[in-house]
Amino acid sequence: MSFSLEAVSQRYITDSGEVVHALADTTLTVEKGSFVCVVGPSGCGKTTLLKILAGFLKPTGGIAAVDGEPIQGPSWQRGVVFQHANLYPWLTVRKNVELGLKFRNVAAAERRKIAEDCLALVGLAGFEDKKTYELSGGMQQRTQIARVLANDPEIILMDEPFGALDALTRERLQMDLLKISRERRKTIFFITHSVEEAVFLGDRVLVMSARPGRVVLDEPVRISETYGRILPGKELRSTPEFVELRDKIADQIYESQGDAAR
Amino acid sequence: MTINDSPSESTTTAPPDEHLGQSLKVASDHRHAVRMGRVRRTGLQLSVLMVFLAVWWLIARMELVNPLYLPSPGAVWDAFIQSNSCRAISETRTVCGEQNYYMWEHLIASLQRMAIGVGIAVILGPLAGFLMATVGWLNTALEPYLNFLRSLPPLGYIGLLIVWFGINDTSKNWLLFLAAFPPIVIATINGVRGVKQDSVHAALSMGANRWQVGTSVILPSALPEIIAGIRIATGFAWTCVVAAELNAGIPGIGGLAFTSGQQLQTALTIACIIVIGLAAVALDALIKYLGNVAVPWYGKA
Ligand SMILES: Nc1ncnc2c1ncn2[C@@H]1O[C@H](COP(=O)(O)OP(=O)(O)O)[C@@H](O)[C@H]1O
Ligand SMILES: [Mg+2]
């Protein structure tokens, strides 16, 4: 599945009656199977964009579409990984991961198997019967990812999913996510405030300006292609191409914030 | 780093041995302190009770107050025992309990009224609250009347209920229902409104339909508040049942307290009051316990 935005914009009306122009006219196409990372200063409308794609929010202007069909509301074909793990504490880890399949009336035995596979994929085999609140933050985030993967959506929308994690856990989950996206050929839309993370994960990086958010830079990432192979994280991060792109993007962000000094 | 490694964040860094010993000692000191604190607190509370009983006993003993007004603790105890047993009043006749029922039967009768009135409120309250929280116009239409009903003291309208439903149990059951219903509805509305939007969004993006969102996400999310509402409602209804039994309240622990007072069996009245209080505490503890069983995640997630 691919998706597209046609002059999509969003204005919020706050409780005090103020109009907040969160998202300026945005036109964008994301191909099937691509891994698009979005960076930008906080408050620039990244989450707004994701909510529109997820179908949680109907934009006040323009049309958001999946495979040419306007988005009418949420769908299991567009899985969402939230910034906070959002697990249901009344369900075990296993039941959380099975939930989407249960909503969709998949038979119990098959649900169970898929959930176990997905938990194993994110490195949580053996934690199936734990309570969610007994898990660390990183493990909760893995569970959330497994829960989305279990549903096997074609598009995965992720909103700063690793933002609240420590550096080590974040790096592990980045590696896991890369592997999953390559194995399963998902279309991934990944929001982050870390330029480094965007360049590391994405095969395309979008930079958004401060509010009202617009895409001010749209860069392909071709480091793996340049080297003809997938580089391990540490090696990749120290290639000149990586450093160059990272700095270019960072500069663009500072520029669009109207702050030339670094 | 591979995907199949055990999660790095699950392995806690093991402290060196003396460090471990240290922290074990800290933990055991802490437990000790907690236990001591609890013992000291209970001790303090018990001594208040002891002092209270002693003063009461002394006043009664020295007959500072007419025993008709203030019988001794021993007399209250005797009244309590007597109301739960049979005694011979002549060669041929024995009397059991008070007002033809043992005291525990009076208590059970009151609890039965609670079970019916509050029980129906516990079933209908969350349903009504759920509907009001999710159907906008219904809430707009009903909220002021719900608040009006809640602010009425139930004993203010018991007279009307007696006219409508007679002086016996039906009017009392209605009273308890009407007392317990509004707090449960309001707690449910607050619980449903407080459900995190992302929880609902997550379910929708996993393919849930409206019904599934309601039963799988909103209801369990709101459960802690619903249970808190039931707890408040039960306490409130208990204060009402006792008062409602002023009229035709035998059997009933409130009825017994009232009737015995009228007949100047002051010791029995005091015994009833103590039982009413203890029953309230026990009811509250029971609901609190059931709540902890139903919502083990509360406060942890
Ligand atoms: N429901 C809302 N009502 C009013 N303003 C909102 C609402 N949601 C977001 N905003 C505002 O819109 C802007 C963009 O928000 P958001 O998309 O969350 O930014 P980001 O995710 O990039 O930090 C912010 O200024 C925020 O305050
Ligand atoms: Mg955001």
H or E stretch at B270: helix B266-294
**Cα→Cα distances B136→A239, B131, B183, Å:** 57, 9, 19
Q: Which residues contact B114 (CB under 8 A, 6 or more apart)?
A: B176, B234, B237, B238, B241, B283
Low-confidence residues of chain A, pLDDT below 70?
Answer: 228, 258-262
In this prediction, residue A227 carries a pLDDT of: 75
As given in the structure block, the two tokens for residue A118 are 């997905």
Residue A92, strand partner residues? A131
In this prediction, residue B25 carries a pLDDT of: 73
Task: Kindly state the average pLDDT of the residues B182-210.
Answer: 95
Place of tokens 């996206």: A181
Q: Is A214:A208 a contact under the CB 8 Å cutoff?
A: yes
Q: Which amino acid is at A151?
A: N
- CB of A27 closer than 6 angstroms to any ligand 1 atom: no
Would you say residue B244 has pLDDT above 80?
A: yes
As given in the structure block, the two tokens for residue B238 are 């208990």
For atom 16 of ligand 1, the residue with the nearest CA is A45
Residue of A9, A20, A57 best suited for mutating to test ligand 1, as the one with most atoms within 8 Å of CB: A20
In this prediction, residue B9 carries a pLDDT of: 46
In angstroms, what separates the C-alpha of A150 from chain B's closest C-alpha? 10
In angstroms, what separates the C-alpha of A221 from chain B's closest C-alpha? 23
- pLDDT band, very low/low/confident/very high, at B18 (cuts 50, 70, 90): low
Smallest CA-to-CA distance from B234 within B183, B274, B273 is with B183
Tell me which of B2, B4, B9, B12 to substitute to probe the interface with A (most A C-beta atoms closer than 10 Å): B9
CA B18 vs. chain centroid, Å, equals: 48
- pLDDT band, very low/low/confident/very high, at B115 (cuts 50, 70, 90): very high
For residue A147, give the chain B residue with the closest CA.
B206
As given in the structure block, the two tokens for residue B49 are 């009770």
B219 inside 8 A of chain A by CB: no
As given in the structure block, the two tokens for residue A101 are 């399949």
Would you say residue B1 has pLDDT above 60?
A: no
For residue B299, give the chain A residue with the closest CA.
A133
- CB of A11 closer than 6 angstroms to any ligand 1 atom: no
- CB of A46 closer than 6 angstroms to any ligand 1 atom: yes
Question: String of b and e for A34-69 (b: at least 16 CB within 10 Å)?
Answer: bbbbbbbbeebbbbbbbbbbbbbbebbebebbbeee
Would you say residue B21 has pLDDT above 70?
A: no
Name the residue with higher pLDDT: B119 or B93: B119
Task: Kindly state the average pLDDT of the residues B41-55.
Answer: 93
In this prediction, residue A35 carries a pLDDT of: 93
pLDDT tens-place string over residues A165-194: 888 878 888 888 888 888 888 899 999 988
Mean confidence (pLDDT) of chain B? 88
Least reliable range by pLDDT among A83-87, A178-182, B110-114, B271-275: A178-182
In this prediction, residue B8 carries a pLDDT of: 46
Task: Kindly state the average pLDDT of the residues B142-162.
Answer: 89
Count of other CB atoms within 10 angstroms of residue B198: 16
Q: How far is residue B198's CA from residue B8's CA, in Å, rounded to a whole number?
A: 28
Q: Which residues contact A139 (CB under 8 A, 6 or more apart)?
A: A124, A127, B7, B9, B10
Would you say residue B98 has pLDDT above 80?
A: yes
Task: Kindly state the average pLDDT of the residues B236-263.
Answer: 89
pLDDT tens-place string over residues B52-73: 999 999 998 888 888 888 898 9
Q: How far is residue A256's CA from residue A211's CA, in Å, rounded to a whole number?
A: 10
In this prediction, residue B7 carries a pLDDT of: 46
Least CB-CB distance to A82: which of B9, B10, B202?
B202
Least CB-CB distance to B9: which of A78, A139, A175?
A139
